[in-house]
Structure 1
Amino acid sequence: MMKRRQFFAFAGAGLGASFLGGLGTARAQVPPLRLGVLSFGTVEWELAAIRALGLDKAAGLAIDPLKLASNDAARIAFLGDAVDCIVSDLLWAARMRGEGRDIVFLPFSASEGAVMRAPNSTIATVADLAGKRIGVAGGALDKSWIMLQAYAQHQAGLDLAKAAMPVFGAPPLLSMKLEQGELDAALLYWNFCARLEAKGYKRLIGADEVARSFGIEGSISFVGYVFKRGDAQADERISAFAGISRQAKQALASQEALWTQVRPLMQADDEATYGVLKRTFIAGIPSRSIEEERADAAKLYAELAKLGGEKLVGKTAALPEGLYWTGR
């Protein structure tokens, strides 16, 4: 049961949301936003905060979540018009817009993955990955893997794809294999890194550090909400959701009591895991302006297009104009 102090924290936030979203309740109700979400994904955390604070009601926007099994399933549902919005990768969103689809991208998280190693590992630099078994989540065209290869070549003259023994697979399996000692290191998504970190595993290098080696000035949200546009009502839904998403993130960053609503969704079996997951999520909340994000994203996208070619970005060699949602 929610403690009295927690109740008043939520109530205060809800009143603030009502004030901020007052104009939203005054206007006509827009059609529900059909949002595709992955089961146990971090988008569920934000949705829990939105519901607890009543932000959706204050903005006059009903959110209709549809749980999906995988990223591929989410993209199929989005392209098949089963949902209006999903959370997906910036590169995929850019590729879709480059192919002529009227979609926009709203940054969700700047938390990035990392190369993880065992607590007692002797691996100290990227050069030490030579001859080692390294798990890679996301496949041979994963952006972090491509960037890591370029980084290793530039920093150590190392062709990582040949010098190491990459093993591609699903993040849960690779994480388990690293714990069992069947892998020497693993390049994993941030939430799997956080769980390993809580068990004493160490980061060799993060994807954000690799990105900075390409001249990127700040953090980039490579994961974001991807919306369909098409008419004025669609834009109204996007604008309303962008506002309540921003308010929910601000509340998660500042209100400890709100995490009591989120924790049951986190699959955190102990305090250490809960603490690292929460800290990393908050650290990844986008804080830069869209203009700053877009400038750095365009720079890195151009580098990735050179490295990965059409297999990675299709025929969209440059970040498309109008990709980021700017409120208009």
Structure 2
Amino acid sequence: MRPIFQKLLLSALIALVALAPARAGDRLRLALQKTGSGVWEIAVITAFGLDKQAGLELTVTELANTDAAKIAIQSNSADIVVSDWLWVARQRADGAKLTFYPHSTAIGALMARDKSVKSVADLAGKKIGVAGGPLDKSWLMLRAFAQRQGVDLEKAATIVYGAPPLIAEKAAEGELDAALEFWNFAADLEARGLYRALDLRQVETALGAKGSPVVTGYVFDEGFAAKNAEALARFFAMIDKARHLIATSDAAWRVAMQRIPAKDPAVLALYRKSYSEGIPARSLAEERADAALLFSALADIGGPALVGRATKLPPGTFYEAAPASAAR
């Protein structure tokens, strides 16, 4: 072939490549609680183009509560949700193949207006609001902690379950004597005159945790993970970038703030501090070890009603793949 025809052919091929549509990013379907910090991260990811940098296309559905997330992942309406490792362990014990990757160590508190509430024993006869459902990990841990002190909260107190915003509002208006709230709503209630009767970090330590264990994580199916391991690795690396931007960049924090109902600067500062402190910093082995200790404590005290069929943390509860090779 003559050189001139070679050049023309090469030019034509280059033109065809240029005109061809770009390869779409790997699509991931997320279902996130609309009041959770996961939506802050998505807002920052979108604003800073981190999804495009990672070669990902994110479809996000916002949900009213944690139970809706569980339904979404079980019905295959989402690829990834945020939930807690205890629920994943329960599902694995029943044969499901869900697995968990750490998201945050931030944990809530039992908030009260009456300062006479200083221990779980003081909750007898009280009306307690619980953010989430009866299988929420924080509530299960509080029940186990109380049982160690001879208090069965389900019998000793009146329990009201509800979405975090509803429980927070009822507590602020005095309709509840105490409220077990997620960390961000606990900050709101503190600003509205309630106090921390019991921080759940104390409960974790009392039940055997060695450090500040991860509380929430990304939950997905093992089969999905096997088919999308590389995309998941890029997703986790992208989330890590977003988290550290929120913690260190005022520009990113301003984006995240748009998703936070609170407007008081002092409350917002507390949000950012608590969020930043909740970024996981320990090894997966350390997280798994603490989870195993807490799971055993729950199994010993509450039995199948709390932890399902398992007597120890089921293998595979924590996702094993290392995301270090993520970046494109």
Shorter-chain-normalised TM-score: which range?
0.7 to 0.9
Residue 285 (str. 1) matches residue 250 (str. 2): no
Which residue in the other structure is 2:220 paired with?
227
* Counterparts in 2 of 1:127 and 1:38: CA distance versus 1, 3 Å: closer
Which residue in the other structure is 2:102 paired with?
107
Which residue in the other structure is 2:62 paired with?
67
- Is the Cα–Cα contact under 8 Å of residues 40 and 266 in structure 1 kept in the other structure? yes
Shift of the alpha carbon at 1:136? Answer: 2.5
Q: Measure the CA separation in 2 of the matches of 1:139 and 1:229.
A: 25
Q: Aligned ranges for residues 86-165 of structure 1 at < 5 Å?
A: 86-118=81-113, 121-155=115-149, 157-165=150-158
* Counterparts in 2 of 1:40 and 1:186: CA distance versus 1, 3 Å: closer
Q: 1:191 aligns with which of 184, 195, 212?
A: 184
Which residue in the other structure is 1:32 paired with?
27
Letter matched to residue 55 of structure 1: L
* Counterparts in 2 of 1:124 and 1:97: CA distance versus 1, 3 Å: closer
Unaligned 5+ runs, structure 2: 1-22, 323-328
Shift of the alpha carbon at 1:53? Answer: 2.7
Secondary structure of the residue aligned to 2:26 is coil
Secondary structure of the residue aligned to 1:226 is strand
Q: Aligned ranges for residues 44-83 of structure 1 at < 5 Å?
A: 44-83=39-78
Q: Measure the CA separation in 2 of the matches of 1:152 and 1:320.
A: 25
Residue 324 (str. 1) matches residue 307 (str. 2): no
Which residue in the other structure is 1:263 paired with?
257
Q: Aligned ranges for residues 6-21 of structure 1 at < 5 Å?
A: none
Unaligned 5+ runs, structure 1: 1-27
Q: Aligned ranges for residues 161-180 of structure 1 at < 5 Å?
A: 161-180=154-173
Residue 251 (str. 1) matches residue 278 (str. 2): no
When Rg is computed on C-alpha atoms for both structures, the one with the higher figure is: 2
Q: Measure the CA separation in 1 of the matches of 2:119 and 2:33.
A: 34
- Is the Cα–Cα contact under 8 Å of residues 30 and 233 in structure 1 kept in the other structure? no
Shift of the alpha carbon at 1:213? Answer: 0.5
Give the percent of matched residue pairs that are identical in Structure 1 and Structure 2: 45
Which residue in the other structure is 2:9 paired with?
none
Moved more, 229-238 or 261-270: 229-238
TM-score (norm 2): 0.82
Q: 2:194 aligns with which of 193, 201, 211?
A: 201
* Counterparts in 2 of 1:167 and 1:58: CA distance versus 1, 3 Å: closer
Moved more, 230-239 or 185-194: 230-239
* Counterparts in 2 of 1:178 and 1:32: CA distance versus 1, 3 Å: same
Q: Measure the CA separation in 2 of the matches of 1:160 and 1:68.
A: 29
Letter matched to residue 116 of structure 1: M
Letter matched to residue 325 of structure 1: Y
1:224-249 deviation per Cα after TM superposition (whole angstroms, max 9, x unaligned)? 10122336541111111111111211
Q: Measure the CA separation in 1 of the matches of 2:321 and 2:151.
A: 44
Which residue in the other structure is 1:218 paired with?
211
Shift of the alpha carbon at 1:198? Answer: 2.0
- Is the Cα–Cα contact under 8 Å of residues 95 and 314 in structure 1 kept in the other structure? yes
Shift of the alpha carbon at 1:29? Answer: 5.9
Shift of the alpha carbon at 1:144? Answer: 2.7
Q: Measure the CA separation in 2 of the matches of 1:125 and 1:40.
A: 28
* Counterparts in 2 of 1:219 and 1:58: CA distance versus 1, 3 Å: same
Secondary structure of the residue aligned to 1:105 is strand
Letter matched to residue 58 of structure 2: I
- Is the Cα–Cα contact under 8 Å of residues 117 and 202 in structure 1 kept in the other structure? yes
Secondary structure of the residue aligned to 1:230 is helix
TM-score (norm 1): 0.82
- Is the Cα–Cα contact under 8 Å of residues 133 and 164 in structure 1 kept in the other structure? yes
* Counterparts in 2 of 1:240 and 1:218: CA distance versus 1, 3 Å: same
